[in-house]
Amino acid sequence: MNFGVIGYKGRMGKLILELFQEHNHTPVLLVDKNEIIEKEKPDVIIDFSNKDALETTIYFCKKYSSNLVIGTTALKEEHFKLLKELSENVAVVQSYNFSIGINILLDILEKYSKIFEKWDCEIVETHHSKKKDKPSGTAILLKNTINRNLEIHSLRLGGIPGDHAIFFSNEGELIQFSHRALSRKVFALGALKAAEFVMKKTRGFFTFKDILKEEI
């Protein structure tokens, strides 16, 4: 496939560019802050950049009828509205976490977190010190899935790719669910899986969990 990367100079952008090429896909559109390299029509555009790039991303998706895989976090309601509108014409996969493990954890929490309704619950997320947003998109996703008012604690340290832990506790016990991304490559692999998925679709709004339905 011909693909585009928004945020191609970033930590995720560089990995995505490398991994997709290893799988014989061709980069035809590269966008970063104040930079656009435009060669051909991309079949799919991958955006791991910043919410401020969304306008540009949507411009290119519309211009070329390209499908979109977007992992950028800190999106606001207005951004989701734009993505839903876009998905009326092209296929969009949006997720704050493209790892398989977090999506399995979301599934478990969706099914079982009600059991802990009367227990205290808090989330701790730990990421590298260069991460710009707080709390992480994944922590927001976990909180929305648990579907209750709870506190998120954010740590920004060293080079940690992404740790999330959910604690449930009553007077005498503690249960902890946790996930650690051992490297950023898991997210790039997830983006590749999502890009291959959208190539089979013409339109619609999907999450990474929709893609993993057959696996989890």
Indicate which residues carry an active-site annotation: 127, 131
Residue 65 CB, shortest distance to ligand LZUJQKHR, in Å, is 28
Among residues 205, 95, 104, 210, the alpha carbon closest in space to that of 141 is found at 95
What dihedral do alpha carbons 162, 184, 213, 87 form, nearest 10°?
100
- Is residue 151 within 8 A of residue 115, CB to CB? The reply is no
41 binds, among ligand NDP, ligand LZUJQKHR, none (CB under 5 to 8 A by kind): none
Q: Would you state the structure tokens that stand for residue 83, as one six-digit string?
A: 């993505």
Q: Applying CB under 6 A, which part among 17-25, 79-87, 90-98, 114-122 lies near ligand NDP?
A: 90-98
Amino acid at site 81 = K
Q: Taking CB under 6 A as the criterion, which residues in 31-70 touch ligand NDP?
A: 31-33, 48-50, 52-53, 56
Interface residues with ligand LZUJQKHR (CB under 6 A) are 73, 96-97, 127, 131, 136-138, 162
127 binds, among ligand NDP, ligand LZUJQKHR, none (CB under 5 to 8 A by kind): ligand LZUJQKHR
Vertex 190 angle, CA 126 and 192, to 5°: 140
What dihedral do alpha carbons 192, 198, 200, 205 form, nearest 10°?
150
Q: Applying CB under 6 A, which part among 3-11, 79-87, 105-113, 115-123 lies near ligand NDP?
A: 3-11
Residue 203 CB, shortest distance to ligand LZUJQKHR, in Å, is 26
Q: Applying CB under 6 A, which part among 8-16, 118-126, 147-155, 197-205 lies near ligand NDP?
A: 8-16
- Is residue 4 within 8 A of residue 29, CB to CB? The reply is yes
Q: Taking CB under 6 A as the criterion, which residues in 144-203 touch ligand NDP?
A: 187
Which residue ranges are tagged as binding site for NAD(+)? 7-12, 32, 71-73, 95-98
Q: Which is nearer to ligand NDP, 46 or 121 (CB)?
A: 46
- Is residue 150 within 8 A of residue 115, CB to CB? The reply is no
Q: Would you state the structure tokens that stand for residue 121, as one six-digit string?
A: 């619950």
Amino acid at site 42 = P
